[in-house]
Structures are given as C-alpha cells and as structure tokens.
A and B are shown apart, each in its own frame.
Chain A
Amino acid sequence: MKEDSMNGKFEPEKMIRVDCLRFEEVLPELDRPGTPGAALREAALAHAEMCSRCGALVTEAESLDFALGQIAQATAELQAHPRIEAALLREFQRGKSMASSRRLQWQLAALVAAAAVLLVIGLSFHRPQTTAPDKTPSVIASSTAASSVRGPSEAPPATNRTITNVPQRDSRTRTPAQKRDASDSDATEYATAYVPLPYAYDPSELEGGAVVRVVLPRSALISYGLPIEGMGVSEQVTADMVVSQDGTPQAIRLVREVNSKSDD
C-alpha cells in the first residue's frame, strides 16, 4: 500500500502476485539478469516472506548459491599449465612446416604435370608437320637438278626432273617391283624393271622415299653402273628413280613412251 499524494488514501501496490508454484519456477533465476525470475524478484521475495515453505527454499537456494560461488571463485583464475601452450605451439609450427612442404610438393607436381602436358602438345604439333607432306601427295616440278637426287658417286645432274612424292602408306606397302607393275598398267609408256643401284641400301629401308621421274643423258647411266647396249640412239633417257628419304638414289628403271617406242 502506498499513500496517494492527491487525497491521502493508500492504494494497493501494483505488483504481480507470485504463488508457491510460480515461486519455485523462478527461484533459481532471481539473481540472473535478463531472466523471468529476475523480473519477478521483488514479488517472489515478498511471497517468500509470507510463506514459510518458500522462505525455507530461499534459504536452501542461498546456501547452494554461496557454495557454488565459492567453487566458482576458487577456480575462476585456473588455467592450463604453460607446458600445454608450449606443446601446442610446437605442434602448430610442425603443422605449418608440414603444410608448406606439402604446398611445395603440390607445386612441384603441378609443374611436372604442366611440363608433361606441354610436351604432349608439342609432340602432337610436331608430328603432323613432319607427316603432312606424306598425307597429301604433291607434284613438284623442277627444272634444276637437286643434290638430293644425286648419288654418293656424284652422278651428273638430271634435267627436266619431275618429283612425285609417294604417300607413306603406299611406300610402306609397295616395293619397287610393285611400283613397276603399277606403272606397267599405264598404257601410254613402257618401263623396265627397277634395277638397284650398286650402292643401294636394303630396299626395305626405302619407306618414305619417293619415285622421281628424271630425264638424263645416256652417258649418266654408265655412272649408275647400268648397261646401255641395245638402247635407243636418243641422247636423253627418261627414267624413274627411287630415292630414299635422305635423297640418295636407290634404284632406277628406264621408261619410254609408247609412241616414242615406235620412233625407236
């Protein structure tokens, strides 16, 4: 009750009433700010003053709080021994060095992988460049003699030479004899069999070589070790020459056009 300043009468104080059940609910929170118990503290204590049972509960709770407070204070400043911190710092440094070495290993592995990828890419680019001429047969006309068609015995230069590049697949599957047969099927010209040149290598090494149509003086045939008896009187002779990859002549055959045959 409090006195009304206007008319001097006492009015009942506006306070939430707390019964025993509610009191037991809020008792542990009376001193805990921000909880429902703290908001009802005054009303709860007022109830405890009137209720002996709840008053006894307050006494017990205070004793418990006191003991808990003592334990809390006794241990409030406790910390782990400094050796724990030292051990943890050692572990941290160890982990850091392991992480950096792991990072280094990863970087090395990435570098190796990148190098491998670059190598593969480089090889894949290099291969088409070296094999491209084989894939597309080309005809190169040249009016001058090339050293590549010269034999090691310094054969005289051929003139009006036509170089037919043989696809690699064909050269791999065909022997000079087979090439002759193919040429024989051409009805416009007559050709002899290929004759290996004296210094020729094993014909099986002619893979990737080329057949070169040359026109050369008859006297040059002698330098290739070929007999010229029984040949026509023409000064110029047409021949197919099998040339290895390094440009060395390996075999030769004489070619004559059918109409020129009749001339002879």
Chain B
Amino acid sequence: MTRGTELIDDGLLLRRMIAGDQDAFTLLYRRKHPAIYRFALHMSGNCSVAEDVTQEVFMTLIRDAKRFDPERGTLGGFLFGIARNHLRRRWEQERNSVPLPETADELDAIMSQSRNGSGGINGRRAIPYGNGNGNGPGLGISAFPVHRDEFVSQENVSRVRHAIATLPENYREVVVLCELDEMSYEDAAAALDCPVGTVRSRLHRARALLLEKLRDAQPMRRASAVGE
C-alpha cells in the first residue's frame, strides 16, 4: 500500500466500494483484514476458522455494506462486530467438537510444527510463524530476542497462550485486542461496542485471571522475562 492510499478515509473507500469500485474494496480489505484475521485467530486458535471468519466478514461487507452507520461507530468496530458474531455462531454450532486447542501440549505441538513448516495437527492448520501466506520468511520465533533459556521462554509463552485460550470470551476479547493487537482502550471499546471503562475493567480482571492460571500451572520465572 502506498503512502497516498493510506491517507484515504475508510468512509470514502467504503462509499467508493458501494458504488462498485473494486480497487476501493481491495484497498479496504488489505487495510482491515489483518486485524480481523488475527482477532479471529487468537479467539479461535485455528487458522482455518480465522480464514473462514475473515472471508465471512468481508462477504458481509460486500453484500450489506449499507448496514454500516458511521454515526454508531468506526468501520473497524463494525467489522469486529461481524467477526464476533460469526465466531459465536461457530462456537454454538461446534460446541461439542472442541474448537479450541485444549491442552498446552497441543498448543506446543501446533507452534513447533508451524515453526518447522508442517501442517498442524488433527487436520487443523497450525498458526504459522511466517507471514501466513507462504510468501517469504516472515517472523519466526527465531526472530525474537534470543534468551539464554529459550526453552523456559517458550514454555512460558505456551502456558500463556493456553491460559488465554481458556479465558471466558469477554476477557479473551480484551486481551486479544489490547495486549496482542496492542489497541488502545478507545479502539478496543469501539471494536467491542462497549464503554472504555468496561474494556479497562475487563482487561484488569483478565490479567488477574491469567496470572492466577499461570500461578496454578507453575511459577513463572522472571529470568525468562528479563533475559537474565
């Protein structure tokens, strides 16, 4: 995306898209889809689900773009809302089919297999550490700052991922948006269609729950955090 196109307002792009401008839709998709995809990926833990949800979100935008009301929120918030609805629908449909990886071992397997470039477990696509498209090297674990005790570091990351996956949905959403996508409280509130105070309180509670879960699992080693 060029610098010029980044300056084009979402609303203008949307209007052009509704008028039938395919380039405007492409630009809008490329601008908005990574956040939606990551959100769906973190919420579901599954690449296929994340891709399906992303596709459904933008299909909805193509078919029903006029439903978006700029006075009610941002376009990002509108798209996140659609993504949340799709995810909830999926979870209701697949309540008995274990949509999320349930154990830390499984998560570790997904992460290690994806690092090695293989295809995930149980027929599900794993979270790739490349750019997700198979085009180019992407960012792998090896691109992170090297710690003396990488194993401990990976163990902690794995435990944290598992703890996030087992959080209640409301708390998982704010952790994904505010911590993993590094959104501001305001943007997260717009995406979740709730007040900023709610985001803040949910995030505090979510972090407290995560720490409780991690304490129960195994005491975390500060050494891995500070690169001791």
Contact = CB atoms under 8 A, between A and B. Distances in A.
Interface in A68-100: 68, 70-82, 84-85, 87-89, 91-93, 95-96, 99-100
B222 A78 contact: no
A65 B139 contact: no
A157 interface: no
Contacts of B38: 75-76, 78
A257 interface: no
B82 to A, nearest CB: 14
B89 to A, nearest CB: 19
Given A59-B222, A62-B226, A80-B50, A34 B131 contact: no
B211 interface: yes
Nearest to A57: B211
B156 A78 contact: no
A245 interface: no
B161 A80 contact: no
Contact of A72 (B33, B179, B184): B179
Contacts of B210: 64
A66 B144 CA distance: 11
Nearest to A33: B184
Nearest to A72: B180
A35 interface: yes
| Chain B interface SS verdict (over half) | helix
Given A78-B131, A78-B132, A80-B51, A64 B180 contact: no
Interface residues of B, number: 62
Among A67, A82, A85, A96, find the residue whose CB has the most chain B CB atoms closer than 10 A. A67
B58 interface: yes
A67 B160 contact: yes
B25 A75 contact: no
Interface of B: 20, 22, 25-26, 29-30, 33-34, 37-38, 41-42, 50-51, 54-55, 58-59, 62-63, 127-129, 131-135, 138-141, 143-144, 153, 156-157, 159-161, 164, 175, 179-182, 184-185, 200, 203-204, 207, 210-211, 214-215, 220-222, 224-226
Contacts of B63: 95
Contact of A96 (B20, B140, B157, B215): B20
A81 B29 contact: no
Interface in A132-173: none
Given A71-B161, A78-B34, A64 B211 contact: yes
Contact of B225 (A66, A74, A87, A95): A66
A208 interface: no
A68 B182 CA distance: 10
Contact of B179 (A68, A87, A89, A99): A68
Nearest to A36: B200
A132 B178 CA distance: 83
A66 B179 contact: no
Contacts of B129: 74
A70 B144 contact: yes
Interface string A27-67: 01100101100000000000000000000000111111111
B37 A80 contact: yes
A74 B139 contact: yes
A160 to B, nearest CB: 78
Nearest to B185: A35
